[in-house]
Chain A
Amino acid sequence: MSELDTQIRKFQKELSAGTVSLALLAVLAAASEPMYGYQIAKRLEREGEGVLSGKQSALYPVLRNLSAAGLLDSHVEPSASGPPRRYYRITAAGQGVLHEWTIAWRATRDSVDSVLEGLTHERA
């Protein structure tokens, strides 16, 4: 693996550490009914690269921790195809946190964008 690849991977990993939580909350806030791990993974997969440039197995521990923090509610239902599935739904606390995180995310995105724009102007 080249030095550049290593740097890209490392950056993606650091970037996804916080944004995956945000993306999961957003997906569950938009969902009309509770979703289980696999469904959520597939839903995010459709959004393409970006947050999910890593592997989908990374989502499960995050779901569990969001649930432990009270941002998600969960219940188990038996399934015909495998072990009982755990369904997640966003809580009121989760909605509140999502709102704050969204504001924080937009502010970060805008400021990073404007810094990056300065870079392209300088180059040009």
Chain B
Amino acid sequence: MNAPDLASRSSASASAPASSFVAPTSIPDYLDRLRRALAGADPALVQDALYDAEEYLRSELAENPGKSEAEVIAAVASSYGAPDEVAEIYRDTEVTVQTALRAPPAPPRKSILGRFFGVAAEPRTYAALFYMLLSLATGIFYFTWVVTGASLSAGLAVLIIGIPFVILFLGSVRVLALVEGRLVEVMLGERMPRRPLYSGRGKPWLERIKDMFTDPRTWGTLLYMLLMLPLGITYFTIAVTLLSVSVSFIAAPLLVWFGDVTTDLQMDGWQVLNFNGYDLTTSLQGWELPFLLVAGVLLLFVTLHVARGIGHLHGQLAKNLLVKSSQYD
């Protein structure tokens, strides 16, 4: 055991002094220990770790029908690992495997110019840009889903079928949260859960339904989905506006020099590029064109940086509303 391991282990047991000495006797108990041992880790990692542990424990229990839950859990400590050990493994493996399997990140560019233009070489930039365009569609969908579901729930509440409807609606929202989490992770690079959280397994189903209502994540997700409409519209507008302005700034000079565009022509106002039915024209004068080209290229790169920035901020928002809230309770 090297020094960092010891440190993480002692901090894990310090947060749960009793758990280190008494072995857990039930699956919820084991998962609870694991959650506490992972306190402070990435919430998405915590959710995955709990899901994996639960799959293993339940399978082990099903394989050994003769044994009690406590016996199975005691046996598991040597094969799967005690909660503290498992927590340590997840912290470690996440780091090592990711660095081993992912393509090595490009060395950070030193110069300011390198950093400014280097953004175009990173795939994440285009993924974030694509997410901005896609968010209009997903935003409209989520918003419609939540508004329809919520108003139908409220309207049907007076009838018997209102209750199952509310439960189905909240269940569907949780599934959508997982789907959106995958989108955010793939396109924006923010680590999100890859498995749903089965916190209520083993409890009676009434209890589980109650948990769904008291889970802050359910409400966080609803809020997120409502927010997605205005955000989606904003992201889409920013992306389309910046892209079309910078592309036409770049295209106008090139078309004048290599194509057939009449310069210095005002038609119903001032235009960068205008198609009047017969040919392309521009209101710009010849000497202005090189400046326009430079401005267009700069603006295009600024757009890419804006996409990265928005992608990062949105990743944080998604993480806070979709996963963070109830991880450490």
**A interface majority secondary structure:** helix
Q: Name B80's contact: one of A21, A55, A79 (CB within 8 Å).
A: A55
Min CB gap A104→B, angstroms: 13
Chain A residues, CB < 8 A from B52 = 37, 57, 60-61
- Bits for A1-26, please: 1 = Cβ < 8 Å to B, else 0: 10000100110010001100100000
Chain A residues, CB < 8 A from B2 = 6, 10
Contact of A61 with B90 at beta-carbon distance under 8 Å, contacts A68-B101, A81-B59, A83-B51 already known: yes
A82→B54 contact, CB < 8 A: yes
Min CB gap A96→B, angstroms: 15
B80→A18 contact, CB < 8 A: no
Docked pose: A39 CA to B55 CA in angstroms: 11
B90→A36 contact, CB < 8 A: no
Of B91-99, B144-152, B241-249, B293-301, the one touching chain A = B91-99
Q: Name A57's contact: one of B60, B89, B101, B198 (CB within 8 Å).
A: B89
Residue of A nearest to B83 (CB): A57
Task: Report how many residues on chain B are interfacial, defined by Cβ distance under 8 Å.
Answer: 37
- Residues on A facing B (Cβ under 8 Å): 1, 6, 9-10, 13, 17-18, 21, 36-39, 41, 45, 54-58, 60-62, 64-66, 68-69, 79-83, 85-86
A9→B58 contact, CB < 8 A: no
A82→B58 contact, CB < 8 A: yes
Contact of A37 with B55 at beta-carbon distance under 8 Å, contacts A56-B81, A69-B101 already known: yes
Q: Which residues between 35 and 75 of chain B lie within 8 Å of chain A, taking CB atoms?
A: 48-49, 51-62
B97→A61 contact, CB < 8 A: yes
- Bits for B7-35, please: 1 = Cβ < 8 Å to A, else 0: 00000000000000000000000000000
B56→A83 contact, CB < 8 A: no
Chain A residues, CB < 8 A from B305 = none
* A-B residue pairs in contact (CB < 8 Å), sample of 13: A21-B97, A21-B100, A55-B79, A55-B80, A57-B80, A58-B93, A60-B52, A64-B194, A68-B101, A69-B101, A80-B62, A82-B59, A83-B51
Closest 3 CB pairs of A and B: A82-B58, A55-B81, A38-B59
Whether a CB of chain A sits under 8 angstroms from the CB of B1 is: yes
Residue of B nearest to A63 (CB): B52
